[in-house]
């Protein structure tokens, strides 16, 4: 089954058209589909439209929030309710074309776990396009996930991705980065971007400030979530060494001035305050790093720090284990001294491939 998750906020005018396009796409490609509309506290008639669609089409389900909790919360609710092995997210403003979904699934069939859309030609004003290009380049540079459009709402996922990552705040745009950090393969495909027909954009200038802060958070989570002391301790040691070097210089200066019977007057030198502050700040960062390590050690008892792709074979039963319920088989008499040839040669480990861009 294919699950299509549609987060929405005040998009009543576009829901009927979006549903019609999704239904036509599913019929053309013979998809077993379910459509989940997640109403993130809309104040217009969006929920009434979702109810009407659900009564008319049994493939439609809806979830309504009591208030606006944000897109990440809406997507989390949709992922939790989805029943398909493949999940596609699409915005409700009709700027994403549902006819591009089969292309995303085709790329996923090549072995990718996450496929992100790339709006190569955008129909947005320049003051939204230019900052978006800068942001996408910054995300790709800091995280190593080379995607052209991290903000694209049209994405396809395998279900197991959401068993290992958790969305909160506004981290929904960084799902490919979080998935890549867990070892999932991420790709992208060029998709069509259409002009907005109804309503207006829900994002403003504050989105980019919040996005940059979220990027720093994601960089810390993906790089140092299991070893925070490596970051905090390294910065702390740097400040501690700088402060120590300044204090060492002032100590030598004080000795030389005293030997020459001069008053060093260190209390009038700004370097003294800067050095003491650097030493104290460095010590605080190292202490915070130790506290973070203690928290990680305590909370990671029930959390796996790795991600398993697949398994093969079963462990042999231990005959000395009284709890073993499987009897050990008696080895058969060999018919020939020549060992049998294996049926197939073991496959070599897969080599990491760069994300594929498809048009």
SS3 55: helix
Q: Is the pTM of this model over 0.85?
A: no
| CA gap 14, 89 in Å, rounded | 16
Q: Is 188:117 a contact under the CB 8 Å cutoff?
A: yes
User: What confidence score (pLDDT) does residue 321 get?
Assistant: 53
Partners of residue 115 on adjacent β-strands:
156, 187
Sheet of strand 186-191, all strands in order from the earlier edge strand to the far edge: 60-64, 33-39, 2-8, 86-89, 155-158, 114-119, 186-191, 357-358
- The string of DSSP letters for 92-135 reads TTS-B-GGGHHHHHHHHTTT-SEEEEEESS--S-HHHHHHHHHH
User: What's the rounded Cα separation, in Å, for the pair 32 and 290?
Assistant: 51
CA distance 81 to 238: 48
Of 291, 293, 283, 287, the residue nearest 239 (C-alpha): 283
What is residue 328's predicted lDDT score, i.e. its pLDDT? Answer: 44
pLDDT in tens, 218-275: 888 887 877 888 888 899 999 999 999 999 999 998 888 888 878 878 878 889 999 9
Q: Which residue has the higher pLDDT, 312 or 335?
A: 312
In this predicted model, what pLDDT tens digit does every residue of 315-335 receive, in sequence order? 655 555 555 444 444 444 444
Q: 3-state DSSP call for residue 303? A: coil
Token code pair at residue 324 = 């073993």
pLDDT digits (tens, 9 = 90+) for 18-62: 999 999 999 999 999 999 999 999 999 999 999 999 999 999 999
């Amino acid at each position: 089954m294919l699950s299509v998750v549609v987060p929405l906020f005040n998009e009543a005018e576009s829901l009927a058209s979006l549903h019609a396009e999704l239904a036509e796409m599913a019929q053309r490609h013979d998809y077993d589909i379910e459509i989940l509309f997640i109403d993130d506290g809309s104040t217009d008639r969006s929920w009434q439209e979702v109810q009407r669609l659900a009564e008319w089409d049994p493939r439609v389900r809806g979830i309504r929030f009591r208030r606006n909790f944000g897109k990440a919360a809406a997507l989390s609710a949709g992922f939790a309710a989805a029943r398909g092995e493949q999940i596609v997210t699409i915005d409700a403003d009709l700027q994403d074309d549902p006819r591009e979904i089969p292309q995303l699934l085709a790329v996923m069939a090549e072995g990718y776990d996450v496929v992100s859309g790339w709006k190569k030609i955008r129909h947005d004003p320049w003051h939204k396009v230019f900052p978006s290009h800068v942001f996408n380049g910054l995300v790709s540079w800091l995280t190593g996930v080379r995607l052209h459009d991290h903000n694209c709402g049209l994405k396809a996922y395998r279900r197991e991705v959401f068993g290992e990552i958790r969305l909160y705040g506004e981290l929904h745009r960084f799902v490919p980065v979080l998935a890549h950090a867990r070892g999932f393969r991420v790709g992208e495909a060029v998709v069509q971007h259409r002009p907005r027909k109804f309503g207006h954009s829900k994002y403003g200038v504050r989105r980019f400030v919040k996005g940059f802060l979220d990027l720093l958070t994601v960089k810390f989570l993906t790089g140092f979530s299991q070893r925070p002391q490596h970051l905090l301790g390294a910065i702390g040691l740097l400040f501690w060494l700088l402060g120590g070097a300044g204090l060492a210089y002032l100590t030598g200066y004080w000795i030389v001035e005293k030997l020459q019977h001069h008053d060093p007057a260190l209390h009038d030198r700004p370097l003294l305050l800067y050095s003491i502050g650097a030493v104290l700040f460095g010590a605080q960062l190292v202490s915070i790093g130790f506290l973070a390590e203690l928290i990680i050690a305590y909370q990671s008892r029930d959390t796996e720090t790795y991600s398993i792709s697949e398994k093969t074979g079963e462990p042999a039963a231990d005959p000395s284990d009284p709890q073993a319920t499987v009897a050990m088989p008696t080895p058969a008499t060999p018919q020939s001294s020549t060992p049998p040839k294996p049926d197939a040669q073991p496959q070599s480990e897969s080599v990491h491939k760069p994300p594929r861009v498809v048009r």
